[in-house]
């Protein structure tokens, strides 16, 4: 199945549009409601079988010149292992009022952490994600730093280090291990806040 | 030969000199390596440059056995509490070297996630420039630190510490005395009240029987 065929099928079946700004012409703009169907179709029904998710990226169009439409976008890059060189990108436009995209972490396992990263940096919520927490920034971080209206040099201190053992124990229990001694969750302590903290 | 070792011998020296001599020549580093500076530290440690020539023979991977905290690399805000805790776990006397541009000033990471210099978290004795620093620069920093340690006075620090302790003990005793006094006064007042109450009761009883 050639690229033209795939794009025409996407247009017919799911109402996708081909992105005109894309230099290589491999991007399709999909609506959020059809995203899971499109991804399922690309993974199972196409000849290439796009079985590798390369990246998920968030985009903020706030300061982009001559941009009309929703402020945010989430871009998915897929690659085929069977046919080397076959690539396709999907783009979902997200408005500032809704900020919701369906998750694809059940279709691609590595989407779990990509979606957490996009949530962390842009604040876009992935509906149905099993564990949507911050990935790169610390737990007490306020705001989403890769948004264009976040001041890039605004620094935020962390009062206590992340304690990951309770979560690890939960995960071990789901795998069938028995936890003999349970560790306690560490609560952030206001007295231990470092100098220059945003809270103080 | 042979007899010389058996003879008793005496060396006279000041305690400060002796302690500083011991400290300068056995600085055990704790490598807190988070970026490329740590790789440079590795090459400082191995045969070509050989840090053990100046006594920093053992790299200790526990803060409880080390003297110098060597922060080599970028420190993010997520990592700042960990670094602070490790510094607090080290036994005194302890020194800190900030190796490279990132640890000294944040380097070119002028953004929301990087601490602009570890001196926002812990006190630093020696800074090293460079991105990453050369092993020669690291040696220079170690010599600077040795000079700094030679200037320190163990007896003076000890005297200050003892003075602080004495003051603390005095303050504690004064506090305890005041507490005891207040407690005793309360007791006296209680007993007085009790006695007055009893007397009043007796008077009432007497009046009742009279009537």
Strands (E), chain B: 29-33, 68-72, 95-99, 126-128
The mean pLDDT value for B189-206 works out to: 92
Residue among A141, A166, A138 at smallest CA distance from A154: A141
The mean pLDDT value for B135-164 works out to: 91
- Would you call A56 helix, strand, or coil by DSSP? strand
A168 vs B68, higher pLDDT: B68
Please provide residue A68's backbone torsions phi and psi, each rounded to the nearest 5 degrees: -125, 150
Nearest residue in A to B83, CA atom: A161
Spell out the domain ranges in chain B: 14-152, 155-211
Q: Is A157 on the interface with B (CB under 8 A)?
A: yes
- Residue holding tokens 């009742």? B208
CB contact residues (below 8 A), chain A span 110-139, against chain B: 136-138
The mean pLDDT value for B151-173 works out to: 91
Domains and CATH numbers, chain A: 3-135 (3.30.460.80)
pLDDT for position B107:
87
Mean pLDDT of successive 10-residue segments in chain A (200 residues)?
79 82 84 90 87 93 88 92 88 90 92 93 91 86 89 84 77 86 66 48
The answer to whether B75 and B115 are in contact (CB under 8 A) is: yes
Contact between A162 and B78 using a beta-carbon 8 Å cutoff = yes
Cis peptide before B192 (omega within 30 of 0): no
Both tokens of residue B53?
A: 């020539």
- Enter the DSSP assignment of A42: I
Note if the pTM is more than 0.80: no
Residues of B in contact with A196 (CB under 8 A): 120
Strands (E), chain A: 17-18, 27-30, 52-60, 72-79, 87-94, 100-102, 125-127
**Cα angle A72, A73, A78; round to 5:** 165
In which region does residue A58 sit, left (phi positive, over 0), alpha (psi from -120 to 50) or beta (all else)? beta
Contact between A196 and B121 using a beta-carbon 8 Å cutoff = no
- If you classify domain B14-152 with CATH, what class do you get? alpha beta
pLDDT for position A138:
85
Residue among A104, A99, A110, A11 at smallest CA distance from A52: A110
Q: Is A195 on the interface with B (CB under 8 A)?
A: yes
């Amino acid at each position: 199945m050639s690229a033209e065929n795939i794009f025409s099928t996407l247009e017919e079946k799911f109402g996708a549009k081909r992105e005109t700004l894309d230099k290589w012409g491999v991007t399709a703009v999909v609506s959020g409601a059809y995203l899971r169907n499109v991804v399922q179709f690309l993974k199972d029904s196409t000849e290439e079988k796009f079985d590798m998710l390369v990246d998920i990226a968030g985009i903020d169009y706030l300061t982009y010149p001559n941009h009309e439409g929703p402020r945010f976008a989430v871009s998915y890059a897929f690659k085929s292992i069977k046919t080397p060189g076959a690539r396709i990108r999907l783009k979902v436009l997200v408005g500032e009022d809704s900020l919701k995209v369906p998750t694809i972490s059940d279709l691609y396992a590595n989407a779990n952490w990509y979606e957490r990263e996009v949530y962390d940096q842009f604040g876009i919520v992935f509906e149905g994600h099993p564990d949507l927490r911050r990935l790169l920034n610390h737990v007490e971080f306020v705001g989403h730093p890769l948004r264009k209206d976040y001041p890039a040099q605004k620094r935020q201190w962390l009062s206590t280090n992340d304690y990951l053992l309770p979560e690890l124990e939960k995960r071990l229990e789901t795998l069938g291990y028995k936890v003999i001694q349970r560790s306690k969750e560490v609560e952030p302590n206001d007295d231990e806040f470092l100098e220059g903290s945003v809270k103080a | 030969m042979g007899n010389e070792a058996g003879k008793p011998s005496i060396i006279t020296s000041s305690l400060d000199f002796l302690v500083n001599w011991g400290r300068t020549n056995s600085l055990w580093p704790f490598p807190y390596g988070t970026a490329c500076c740590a790789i440079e530290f590795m090459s400082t440690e191995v045969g070509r440059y050989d840090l053990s020539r100046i006594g920093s023979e053992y790299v200790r991977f526990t803060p409880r056995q080390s003297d110098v905290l060597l922060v080599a690399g970028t420190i993010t805000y997520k990592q700042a509490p960990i670094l602070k805790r490790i510094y607090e776990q080290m036994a005194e006397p302890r020194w800190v070297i900030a190796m490279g541009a990132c640890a000294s000033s944040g380097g070119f990471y002028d953004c929301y996630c990087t601490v602009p210099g570890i001196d926002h978290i812990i006190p630093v004795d020696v800074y090293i420039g460079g991105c990453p620093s050369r092993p020669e620069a690291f040696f220079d920093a170690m010599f600077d630190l040795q000079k700094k340690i030679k200037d320190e006075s163990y007896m003076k620090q000890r005297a200050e510490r003892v003075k602080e302790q004495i003051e603390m003990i005095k303050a504690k005793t004064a506090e305890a005395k005041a507490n005891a006094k207040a407690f005793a006064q309360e007791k006296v007042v209680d007993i007085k009240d009790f006695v007055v109450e009893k007397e009043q009761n007796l008077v009432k009883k007497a009046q009742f029987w009279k009537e």
